[in-house]
Every structure is written in C-alpha cells, then in structure tokens.
Amino acid sequence: MQPVPSNVLEIMLIRKFSGMSPAGFGLRLSQKFLFLLFLSGLITLCFGALFLLPDSSRFKRIFLPRAQTAEGEPDTSAKKVPGKAVKGVDRKHEIHPHQWKTRDRLRDSSKFITSAEKLGLKVPPYGQEGGSPRRGRQEEEEEEEAAVAENGAGAAAAGQDETPWAQRKRPSFKFDYQRFRQALQNPPLGKGAEAEDADICTKRLKIKEMMRFAWDNYKRYAWGKNELRPLTKNGHVGNMFGGLRGATIVDALDTLYIMGFKEEFQDAKEWVEKGLDLNVNGEASLFEVNIRYVGGLLSAYYLTGEEVFRTKAIELGEKLLPAFNTPTGIPRGIINLGNGMSWSWGWASAGSSILAEFGTLHLEFLQLSQISGNPLFTEKVMNIRQVLKRIEKPHGLYPNFLSAVSGNWVQHHVSVGGLGDSFYEYLIKSWLMSARTDREAKEMYYEALEAIEANLVKKSAGGLTYIAEWRGGILDHKMGHLACFSGGMIALGAEDAAEEKQQHYLDLAAELTRTCHESYVRADTKLGPEAFRFDSGAEATATRLSERYYILRPEVVESYMYMWRMTHDPKYRAWGWEVVKALEKHCRLETGFSGIRDVYSTTPSHDNVQQSFFLAETLKYLYLLFSEDDLLALDDWVFNTEAHPLPINHVTVNIGEQQ
C-alpha cells in the first residue's frame, strides 16, 4: 500500500477540524451529547477542586491569582525580586513582601503560631546538622530557596499586605490617648517638687546647660544631618540609617521635652513634621532605625499626644516589616527602606542574624501595635520569642549568631556586651511593660540570668566582679563598656525575683556597677574604655590600643541612675558627677562634644563625632540621676535601649476595636 502524501493528510486534517467534514467528526447526535456531557462534568470537577482543595495546595496557588487562594488568606508563593549585589552578597533569592491577613484583636501570646510552625520547618537542636559556622551565603540561599519552594514565601511573608496599613480598609481604630494618660500613676514630668539640696539643683542645671550646648551647636552646624562633627563644624549623614536624616533631632526629642526646652522641642517637632522624609531608598540597620527613630517617635507621642509622632512612627515601622520575610521569621540585620529587600551584615558569621539586633525589637513593636491597631507588629516579635524559646541553648546560654534560614545557632559566642546585650534587657522590660503580665518574658529573663551567673560571672584577684565572654566553652576575661548596662538591668529586675534571690541580685548589680566605675577611675581621663580586661595581671583596664576609646557612651551612667533609684545610696550621684566633670574637661570643644581616642591620655585626640545617643541617653540618664524619682517614674515607664521612655501598659488596648 502506497503511503498517503503528506499534503493530502494536511488537507484532510484541515477539513476535519474546520467543520468541513460532512460526517461532522464521524459522531452521531447521541454520541456528541454524551461527549459534551462528560467534558462539562470534567471541567466542573477541575474548577471545583480549586475551592475544595486545602489552602496549601500547589495546584491552587498556581491557578488562582494572588490574595485569592481563600477568602482573606494570603498568597504565599515566592516572588523573586532582582536586586543589585551589595558587599559581595548575591541578592537574587531575596523574598519580596507578600500580603497578610488582618485580625480583629491581639491574641494571647500562647496562641500565636510561630513562623517556623507555619512553614512546617523543624529547628534542629544545637550542634546538629545545619548549625555549622562554616556554612556560606550561597548555601544559605540554596537552603532558603528550597524552604520557600516547599513551604511558601516564609512565615513572615505570609499574611503581609503590601498596601500600607493607613490606606487599607479595616475596622476604624483610634488610640485613646486620654485614657492612657489617665492610667498613669504619676505625671510624666513628675509633680514639680524641687530637691531641697541646693547642690543637687545646681548639678541638674549644669547638665541642662550641657544639653543646650550640644543641641545649639548641632542646630547651628548640622541641622537636618544625622550627627554633628564639632571639629570640622559640619554634619554627616552616614550609611547606617538608610537615607533617613535628622537622627539627632529624633533622638533628642524626649530629652528636650523632659528638660523643659519648649522652644527647642517645637523646632524639633516642626522639623519632624516637614523635614523627616521616610520615602528614602537606602540600606539601613534594622536595629538602629528601630531603637533611635521608632523609639524616639513613640516616646515623643506618648509624652505629648502630638499626632505627627504617631503617624511617622507607624509609617516607619511598616517599612521595617519586610526584614522579617525569612523562612523562620527571624529578621535580617539590613533592610532597604525603599524596596523592602533585606540581607545580613557581611561581617556576621555565615550571613546570620545577631541576637542583640533581632532581640531588641519587642518593646517598640508592641507599642506600634498599641497605637496603630495593627497586630502584625506584635506577631512578628512574638514569633522571634517562640523560635528562641524552642531552640536548645548550650548551658542555658544564648549565642550571638542565629541563622534566619534554619533557625540554628551559627557560632558559639556568648556576650552580655556587644552582639548580645539588649536582648536580655528587653526580656525583663517586656515583663515590666506588660504591667507584670507577660510571664513568659519573666521566665526567660531569670533563666538567662541564672545561666549567665553560673557560666560568665567571675571575680578578679582584686575582688572585682565582672561578666566574661564565652567562646565555645573558653572564657575570654573581657568586659565591654556596653556590658556595663547590666548593673542597672539586674537592679531593675531584682524586685520581681524569687524572694530569697532579691537581695542577692541587688548585691550583684552593685558589684558590677562598681567594677564599671573602676574602669573609669583607673583611666587618666576618668572616662572608661570601650573594653577592659581581667587577665595577665590587668584589672578593669584596657590592654589593647584598639579598646582605649570612649565615644560618649551612656551604659555606666545608666547603671548609676538605676542604682540610685533602687537604693538612694549617695555614692551613685557622686560617681555621676565625676563623669560630668570628665566630659566637660576632655570631651567638650568650642562647638559641641566629641568622643576621644585614648582614655589613658590626658591630652586626648578627639574623634570629631557628637553621637546622637549622647543627647538621647548619656545626658538624659545624668539628668534623671539628679532629679526626683517621679520624673519618668519607673512605675509608669520603661526605657528602651536608646533611653526612650515607653509606657507601662496599665490599660490594655484591643487591637482592631471599633472606635
């Protein structure tokens, strides 16, 4: 049989499927009816499956558009956003913000579903596979891509709506500021009583003069910039705040207010209203923007009720949320405030997140939920807590580096100073800010404190108590200036410890504060170094040139202030006044204050930076040290790690409540 020519086949097929065949596909009418009935049933079954299959079905995610997978449920499909490489980091696998479902009210913390659980991820215990410090960024990206492909775009991404909260349709919410003020046990600025001691009044006035001097020179030479350079009489922006400006203005708002600088405060408020542009496109430290800008705006709002501070705080808080879009919900350290992309610090071990950074968000984010009605802020930080609570901790200690992808510790380095410090501070302050209802925070704090005391607290040959650092079981007998906040923290939490431990913790706080005081006394300038050691015969002194500098840090005077309020021992005021005199002698220039490069030189070289935290923390804590206890009373306020006062929640606000 001869084969049919190809052109004849083409003609036959064209005629058959164009309806030209007289037989009409060779089917009788009854056969056509049965075929159409079967086809319609198949189509109905397929489309019906889209709505009957579970929400997690990949089939469902493929065929339904975003935010339509179920009524009110978010689309969790991964969306890759190309980005430029920064500092050698390949950003092609970063997660873009996704939509999130609003909820009517804040839920009890025990009911929050953690990000890792939403993803179905299992967090391996410490030391098991996945926690190797040798894992590189490429391996992390591959692991994250696999997690995203398997589980969606990450727990933090799930449920996030790209529409700003202020523009989204939701139950109307209005924070009841008057109700909040009425719940305070004391007026924020106290009852106006002056100290009977004229000497104390004189010293307080001197600290006010220092604040005015620092502010006036900033305003004259660096207005709108982030910080003043007093030697060169100009300002600088830096690369830490992602294009945000005016860090000193926002940081100083509450200090100006409590010191009674009304005109200066109004100038600062007007700049925030007209000059603080949040529509920037730069790479910011999540931690620094949160504690300085968000914290400063929140405290200014709570102190004054001015709406501009509330709206700016909420808007900026929303810009930080995409940093949480990781498989575990642990945020990365750097975020682009313009496009929402985030990544880890290049120097962080294996691209990990840092304990002191992701652990120092809780206070501000709970307050953002309070004033906005947006529960997502609270959910993000509650998830962080659950991840940390679940993971195994070596000897009860919290290492400083954690993988945001696997949820494993990356390095076995523990410090109550830099990299770890304010995480512990925020545990006890979360308990206090909740009006002593957040028992989970309290339990985590005292468990951590017991582990620190058992493993890190040591006494030198000269009788000085200090907190060493732990490096995989090997102690480094060094204490950083940043760790000197711990005296105040332990004193603050002593009252809520078990009765038999209360005096013990107060004594420990006093011993640590004395040690930090000694680091100041043993320096020629009477200002403490960045770090001091207790080895090779050293006692509370810096033995390395790289540790001798002082950059106007507040941690030592912070502990003086807390110890004064807890004990009213006059030595803490005496020690604080020594700091005032040293600052005046060695750090005050003609055009502002500057840090110094060597505290052991009586003719120090200045670093040419008036840090914003000098106005926010150092001068504020000194002023409070010489003020009455009802000024920002500890019964009503907790201070964030940048010394911005945030209120104790005597009144619970129902998030999403109709007003």
Q: Which of 530, 539, 555, 642 is catalytic?
A: 530
Q: How far apart are CA 577 and CA 584, in angstroms?
A: 11
**Tokens read off for 440:** 């989970």
Closest CA to 287 of 418, 162, 383: 418
What's the CA gap between 604 and 596, in Å, rounded?
A: 6
Residue 528: which H helix or E strand, with range? none
- Please say whether the beta carbons of 330 and 384 come within 8 A: yes
Q: Where are the alpha helices (DSSP H) in 276-433?
A: 286-288, 295-304, 307-320, 355-358, 362-372, 376-390, 421-433
What span, in angstroms and rounded, lies between the C-alpha atoms of 640 and 361? 9
Where do the DSSP E strands lie in 217-331?
227-229, 234-236, 283-285
**C-beta of residue 585 within 8 angstroms of C-beta of residue 591:** no
* Tokens found for residue 343: 């990544």
d(CA 131, CA 123): 10
- How many other C-beta atoms can be found within 10 angstroms of the C-beta atom of residue 215? 25
For the CA atoms of 245, 251, 553, 638, the dihedral, rounded to the nearest 10 degrees, stands at -140
CA distance 404 to 352: 6
Structure tokens at 543: 């033995």
Of residues 300, 263, 395, the one with CA closest to residue 646: 300
176: number of Cβ within 10 Å: 13
Residue 530: active-site member: yes
User: CA gyration radius for the chain?
Assistant: 30
Distance CA 291, CA 644 (A): 8
How many whole angstroms separate alpha carbon 75 and alpha carbon 384? 22
Nearest to 297 by CA among 272, 261, 323: 272
Question: Which amino acid does the sequence have at 13?
Answer: L
Could you give the residue numbers annotated as active site? 530
